Structure 1
Amino acid sequence: MAATTHTVTNQPPPLVGYDVFANDPALTEGIARYVADGRQDEAREELGRLGRAAGSAHAQQWGEQANRHPPVLHTHDRYGHRVDEVEFHPAWHRLLGHAVTAGLTDAWSRPDGHVRRTAGFITWTQAEAGHGCPLSMTHAAVPTLRAEPELAAVWEPLLTSRIYEQELRPAAEKGGALAGMAMTEKQGGSDLRATTTRAEPLAAPGEYALTGHKWFCSAPMSDAFLVLARAPGGLTCFLLPRVLPDGSRNSFRLQRLKDKLGNRSNASAEVEFDGRTWARRVGEEGRGIATLIEMVAATRLDCVSAAAAVMRQAAAQALHHTAYREAFGSRLADLPLMRNVLADLALESEAATTLALRLAAAYDADTEQDRHLLRLAVPAAKYWVTKRCTPMVTEALECLGGNGYVEESGLPRLLREAPLNSIWEGSGNVQALDVLRALRREPPALHAFLTEIGTARGADHRLDRAIKGMLTELADLEGIEARARRLVERMALVLQGSLLVRYAPPEVADAFCASRLGGDAGAAFGTLPHTLDLAAIVARARPVLDR
């Protein structure tokens, strides 16, 4: 009886065996827009290889295994010696090794490096998001270390290397290394000025002994960490290696691993520095936060890119499922109401990816204008894109119905991952207040932002009205802190609208301006005006299997 009743029909094939990069027009068009003509073929070939790997059965299996078998802390060996090591499933090392080999820890050593790395980061982390953390911090540590040229000469070649070596050894014996960071303390959270970890100078110049506790240490298996501590001259940045030059282990005590909502494949730890913890100063004493500014900006951009990757994978799963699944006599994707939902998901995903690539291009250009633009646009984008990720993934999950609520679909893992990037590197309030700080202290940043969005003025009346409304908000600074979230949301939306009006197909730009800037949509996804060309938006975004 079971054999005759258990006939499987009306199920989509697995979304596997496809090129994640080539199937995302926002990515492919961004490469065409921002990478120089003579380097585009090389970039497309490199990203295509990464995209096919990300869409392969192997990578998807690695992602599932790395999350099903989370890291395990070993504080001591069998004889009672402290070892303070984190054991990861082999799938984690395969994911991380592939990413390092693909150059996802380096945007600094080649032209168009940030655009190419951001596109690769969005592509590859769709297979598994957790290992994006060490990739991001390793990449972002480079500009901070450049504040201390002697340290940069040793560590930058290792951090930008395409060699993945998981064993802990002295830096001089390694072909590649990873960097983490340990900033947050339990009494301070986002308020880094509440740091109590102490740094006592040692006899050798630039060397210190640290004493204190860090509440969140990201990627504790890394070779070195950037940390904040109070030196005699004030809050200071330090580089703390796991293994000392003589081959002995630094005193880096792992107290426990955090039991997190999502991001299960990645380890986050509490760590203790016991007064024998050796570190090198990076930058001047008392200038710790200023020294770390560039690292924070780079990791915040990666929060935008990571959220864009989660959003794109959620949209891809919904688009794929509904293209094959039938209900009420039609494909789900052809039903008007479902088409509206899918178009809205695709719209949100494209806007996020387009914004991430524009910010990456500003890093590559590195003009004074672009640096000022990044000062406002990065925290605004980090605030808004990461905020939109969770409701969007929830809606995508619903497109699969009960199947989406089952772990095997992969959507629950995406949903647990979705809130992460709005918390890491400063939560929403921190980003909004950072935007206000830039507006008050750095007038050129606002000029650069207005210049950027002004290039699309006159192209869409809804965008023009939204810009005018934003300027009205900026003109009234009374009680601005209480209104900061609303202001930053408007800034992010007009920036996304400006980019889509300039670069996206007319149907995409029209739908975005109508729903996000013109107010012609409801609060939920799937409330786009029915007069829009929704079928074209869905067709543009739908992934196509290679077979």
Structure 2
Amino acid sequence: MTTRAHERYEESGGRPEGHATHDVTNQPPPLAPYDASEDTALLEGLRREGAGWAEEDLRRLGRRAGSAQAQEWGDLANRHEPVLRTHDRYGNRVDEVEYHPSWHHLMRVAVGEGLAAAPWADDRPGAHVARTAGGLVWGHTEAGHGCPTSMTYAAVPVLRRQPELAKVYEPLLTSRDYDPGLRTPAEKRGMLAGMGMTEKQGGSDVRTNTTVATPTGEAGVYTLRGHKWFTSAPMCDVFLVLAQAPGGLSCFLVPRVLPDGSRNAFRIQRLKDKLGNRSNASSEPEFDGTVAWLVGPEGQGVKTIIEMVNCTRLDCVMSSATLMRKTLVEAGHHARHRSAFGARLVDQPLMRNVLADLALESEAATTLTLRLAGAADRAVRGDAGEAAFRRIATAVGKYWVTKRGPAFTAEALECLGGNGYVEESGMPRYYREAPLLSIWEGSGNVNALDVLRALGREPATAHALFDELALARGADARLDAAVSRLESRLAEGSQAGARRLVELMALTLQGSLLVRHAPPAVADAFCATRLGGDWGHAFGTLPDDAGLDGILERALPAGG
């Protein structure tokens, strides 16, 4: 290199002449800040299900969820994973899990916004709907911290079966104060609850549990001995646990700290090395002389704790719908700002078809989630019909929406191409999160069989489902035909065909809700593809007359 050429090379910052190789063009700007509540289907559902009074707070939370700060919290909480500390420096057993500060920031907002158990202390109709809508919005940050808030929400109706325990713990569980650290109830402003159901030999088959509960001689007090296989959020204050008492499998409350201030025996053997949900510690605790209080009668552990499962299954549906919405927003933002082959991606017919198909799936999931939340809210207030509908529709929704999540997030990731395959985009984290929701609280088979169980043992559930479907009768011939197929298939009742039955239940239920509440373009495209058979085997195969413009205008935030 000549002296002058070397001088020009230095002046160019080390770049060869005429080669501006690091100029950044044709890349989308950062999505954040954005408004996570800017979702027409969500806001319409909020009002329709009786929680319109919460809209202002939901919009405020949506702006916070989409802020650069909150999005960074979600990223950091997953990059800096929880760390188990079994002993202190002196050798004393402590069994504590340390979290990154971002986890605590996320938790503080979630609890403060009433996304844990606060609705149980709120007499307003729609309080449970407002909480679910808040989860659909705040979940845009990250999913892991939704586990302890979900379990805390679900623990309250179970504890109410033992009024003396509810008197102590319910005011703390329904508090909007996030107060981490293991201390007695008298020293805390708020508490969180977890659950320990499964064991390594049985998984979902909890009746095979081997953890033993031995009466102490004090009424209602037992000691536990055994090992749990998958207990998430081990730094919660109390846990609902299943164990074998003399009268059979029973439900117990296990506090981390005993009334005298000493640590209960809750020895964390290890944290799970999970595919996703990395911000949330999931553990294997060992009980050995662990003090526990009976909740509900001996021998009725499953019956006692099933209310907790119903609540957390709703949150699985909610979290899957949230992942769908979040990744759709990411895909739409990228497509609006990225050009290829001479045009913006969002203006190219095939990409518009993919985005519109994803938008249909997302709206159907969100609408069903809010309908389930509305049923839960009204069931709590004594509506027997809604309780029956909730019983079967929550299991149906848990099966189907969580099954759709992994395929959906994969397609949304693909919309970003290589940009979506790198960790910095956040899309791999969402993709890894999606399969959890079809596993947690019972895999697909467990939920499909639960639907069969409900149909066989609780005939009112089938009546409630068909009463709901009848509200859309005559509005769409394809929906009517699908409901007729469902009636015929219901008579078969075979275990081998349970998944086909539950899938058809879910699709007819979603179709019914969209026909009644969504614009014609959305309802028509959903019924044509999901019920009428005019659809391929992948997203992006909507028919040519599907009204893509109307679907996309409704689905994608205006400022994206």
Q: Distance in 1 between matches of 2:178 and 2:28?
A: 37
Choose which of 503, 515, 519 in structure 1 pairs with 2:533.
519
Contact 1:162 1:176 in 2 (8 A): yes
Say if 2:309 is the partner of 1:293. no
Bigger shift: residues 2-11 or 167-176: 2-11
2:39 equivalent in structure 1:
24
Please tell me the residue identity of whatever aligns with 2:354: V
Q: Distance in 1 between matches of 2:43 and 2:338?
A: 28
Choose which of 468, 477, 492 in structure 2 pairs with 1:476.
492
TM-score, normalization by structure 1: 0.97
Say if 2:156 is the partner of 1:133. no
Please tell me the residue identity of whatever aligns with 2:452: L
Bigger shift: residues 324-333 or 444-453: 324-333
Choose which of 88, 92, 104 in structure 1 pairs with 2:115.
104
Say if 2:24 is the partner of 1:33. no
Say if 2:368 is the partner of 1:352. no
Bigger shift: residues 101-110 or 521-530: 101-110
Q: Distance in 2 between matches of 1:64 and 1:535?
A: 33
Alpha-carbon displacement from aligned partner over 1:219-270 (angstroms, at most 9, x marks no partner)? 1010000000011111100000000111110010000000000000000000
- Deviation of 1:9 (Å): 1.1
- Deviation of 1:99 (Å): 0.4
Q: Distance in 2 between matches of 1:539 and 1:404?
A: 23
1:322 equivalent in structure 2:
335
Once the two structures are superposed, the pairs formed by residues 114-129 of structure 1 within 5 Å of their partners are: 114-129=128-143
Q: Distance in 2 between matches of 1:44 and 1:475?
A: 43
Choose which of 304, 315, 323 in structure 2 pairs with 1:302.
315
Say if 2:246 is the partner of 1:262. no
Say if 2:107 is the partner of 1:84. no
Per the alignment, in what secondary structure is the counterpart of residue 222 of structure 2? strand
Please tell me the residue identity of whatever aligns with 1:288: G
Q: Distance in 2 between matches of 1:81 and 1:97?
A: 29
Per the alignment, in what secondary structure is the counterpart of residue 108 of structure 1? helix
Report runs of 4+ in structure 1 exceeding 6 Å deviation: none
Please tell me the residue identity of whatever aligns with 1:280: W
- Deviation of 1:107 (Å): 2.3
1:234 equivalent in structure 2:
248
Say if 2:83 is the partner of 1:67. no
Alpha-carbon displacement from aligned partner over 1:95-142 (angstroms, at most 9, x marks no partner)? 011100000012222221111000001110111110000010000000
Say if 2:512 is the partner of 1:501. no
- Deviation of 1:298 (Å): 0.3
Q: Distance in 1 between matches of 2:555 and 2:226?
A: 49
1:538 equivalent in structure 2:
552
Q: Distance in 2 between matches of 1:322 and 1:102?
A: 33
2:501 equivalent in structure 1:
487
- Deviation of 1:482 (Å): 0.4
Q: Distance in 2 between matches of 1:475 and 1:100?
A: 45
Contact 1:214 1:270 in 2 (8 A): yes
Contact 1:216 1:269 in 2 (8 A): yes
- Deviation of 1:325 (Å): 0.8
- Deviation of 1:10 (Å): 1.0
Per the alignment, in what secondary structure is the counterpart of residue 250 of structure 1? coil
Runs of 5+ consecutive residues of structure 1 not aligned to the other structure: none
2:6 equivalent in structure 1:
none
Q: Distance in 1 between matches of 2:392 and 2:320?
A: 19
Size of the alignment, in residue pairs?
A: 538
1:461 equivalent in structure 2:
477
- Deviation of 1:324 (Å): 1.1
Contact 1:103 1:117 in 2 (8 A): yes
Please tell me the residue identity of whatever aligns with 2:468: E
Contact 1:18 1:544 in 2 (8 A): no
Contact 1:15 1:545 in 2 (8 A): no
Q: Distance in 1 between matches of 2:49 and 2:274?
A: 37
- Deviation of 1:543 (Å): 2.2
Per the alignment, in what secondary structure is the counterpart of residue 197 of structure 2? strand
Q: Distance in 1 between matches of 2:59 and 2:391?
A: 32
Q: Distance in 2 between matches of 1:50 and 1:135?
A: 16
Alpha-carbon displacement from aligned partner over 1:188-243 (angstroms, at most 9, x marks no partner)? 10001001100011121100000000001111010000000011111100000000
Once the two structures are superposed, the pairs formed by residues 144-293 of structure 1 within 5 Å of their partners are: 144-274=158-288, 276-293=289-306
2:387 equivalent in structure 1:
371
Q: Distance in 1 between matches of 2:157 and 2:110?
A: 20
Q: Distance in 2 between matches of 1:475 and 1:427?
A: 24
- Deviation of 1:60 (Å): 0.6
After superposition, the CA RMSD in angstroms is 1.0
Alpha-carbon displacement from aligned partner over 1:309-342 (angstroms, at most 9, x marks no partner)? 1111011100111011111111101101000000
1:415 equivalent in structure 2:
431
- Deviation of 1:91 (Å): 0.3
Please tell me the residue identity of whatever aligns with 1:220: P
Contact 1:17 1:545 in 2 (8 A): no
